[in-house]
Structure 1
């Protein structure tokens, strides 16, 4: 597959909770492609996006959207119908991976350790806790730690959770409740069919929530993580297996919690993200840099993989 020059439509923005992050990702991608001599059409997604893409006639769409509808299979299905090659994972993988319960149903039977949990109606939280505290509440199909709450005995949500307490129960009718896994927050990027590294995320305050992910200075990234090599290797193996079992294409990023007091048995996969961020603070570009791949080269590789896959089909 030739390195171009290509005409790439960079799809970004949209109307999800992660719009601003998507705009940052898309701008970085577009700038990188232009720096390598490629023609770029920047598209801030709206309801007329299909007509916009048809009019642009790109060789490939770089999907820099985060959240719904760019990450849940909707955009992937549209582009499949249009016959336009696109980066990242396809329709079926996107539908499964964005849904944390469907992801568990796919991965756990194959031996991938994930926290046990259950879907609860948000209204039921005002009557009592669904699990012993501490536990985690999160939307079933959002990314970037959007709407995540850790409920502890010391939290100011109330016991039971008060109706006027600010939290995801006010925004989402249903939530996934999981036991809280104490310990380390770690992540592994897979690019080009290879796990790159393990990064430990150390928030300077609170936990690794949406603000900590995208606000400079709120989280320390330790890459590679300063952990036992056997633990790191096992985590990278789990990330690769999850990537393959879900049928991911292009880059993915698997997020883990690790209770070091339990050794390998304390490792739990939380989710595999099929649309990982491409902002200056994002983890996939950071791990790629550690592996000797600069940002522009990473972006080109992602487009090249998408074009090669379309050509093979």
Structure 2
């Protein structure tokens, strides 16, 4: 099997993508695949896809996880791991995804979408009346908590808004929900869709699960299965699959939630359509919990993709 692993790219998550891609390529070679590694920085990357049977997209963020490269591969009629154009674009757009989640009966945090063109009209007094502190300010279409701020006082709000707008023309202002952060990996084969064991995430570096906690060595601890009751476990798995399906995701996703400290219903944070796939990433951790090694899950995703493509023809 000739597999192209596309990684790197031009998003702010390039370094994470490089790590995922290198690990995936190595894993597929151990499974006997002929692997071509493509750093997605050149406009000539299409010519490198000649003779490729299937693509593993190890890209994160803009141009990789937002549906753009998926559209190119659809036009070229080359199968690829992960969701299609629409699901990828919707998942990347947090505001639109939240509307879909809410309509599906999944609890979301209260929010306000603000456009950069309206920045001069933002009424800080009105905002602080609408939302209690702390609150969350983040770009609408970024991943890995890039540009996200936890704002504790009114004096910090303007800077947080400016920071978020430096990454995107749309930002979300959300209520902050204190609680336990968990994530649910979803695996969709040709015949079934299932949620893998839930992972509880404990940041070691900082108070919140930010960029450093996600990617720095020892930045966080992953507890599998999460220390939650059976009722909450069942609900989270049900909602993870429902979110995956509501967006139209395919093959894999990872759905992040907060379980509030006040024992109210969980709150969905986002759906990752191309979750990180380094050997210490969350999705491979969940796969190991059901007996699949890192190499096994990477190869399985390739085979699922190939089989789905054959069945469509």
> Does the TM-score normalized on the shorter chain lie above 0.5?
yes
Any unmatched runs of 5+ in structure 2? none
Runs of 4+ more than 6 Å apart: none
Q: Secondary structure of 2:100's partner?
A: helix
Gaps of 5+ in 1: 1-5
1:62 aligns with 2:56: yes
1:115 aligned residue: 109
Compared CA separation, residues 212 and 221, structure 1 to 2 (3 A):
same
**How many residues are matched?**
301
Q: Give the conservation status (yes or no) of the 8 Å contact 1:203–1:218.
A: yes
Q: Is the 8 A contact 1:33 1:299 kept in 2?
A: yes
Distance verdict in 2 for CA 1:160–1:20, change over 3 Å: closer
With normalisation by structure 1, the TM-score equals 0.91
Of 33-42 and 97-106, the range deviating more from structure 2? 97-106
What CA deviation, in whole Å up to 9, does each residue of 1:103-124 have, x standing for no partner?
1222211201111212124545
Alignment CA distance shift 1:78-1:116 (3 Å): same
Residues 43-67 of structure 1 show CA distances to partners (whole Å, capped at 9, x for unaligned) of 0002324433333x21001000001
In structure 2, distance between residues paired with 1:286 and 1:125? 45
Q: CA deviation at 1:202?
A: 1.0
Structure 1 position 126, deviation (Å): 7.6
Query: What TM-score comes out, normalization by structure 2 length?
Result: 0.91
Cα-Cα RMSD: 1.9
Contact 1:64 1:275 in 2 (8 A): yes
Alignment of 1:203-222 (within 5 A): 203-204=203-204, 205-222=206-223
Q: Secondary structure at the match of 1:291?
A: coil
Partner of 1:79: 73
Map Cα deviations across residues 151-189 of structure 1 (whole Å, 9 max, x no partner): 113xxx8255248x9832443332111100111111100
Q: What is the rounded CA distance, in whole Å, between the counterparts of 1:171 and 1:297 in structure 2?
A: 36
Query: CA–CA distance in 2 between the matches of 1:21 and 1:45?
Result: 13
Matched, 1:32 2:31: no
1:17 match: 12
1:310 aligned partner? 309
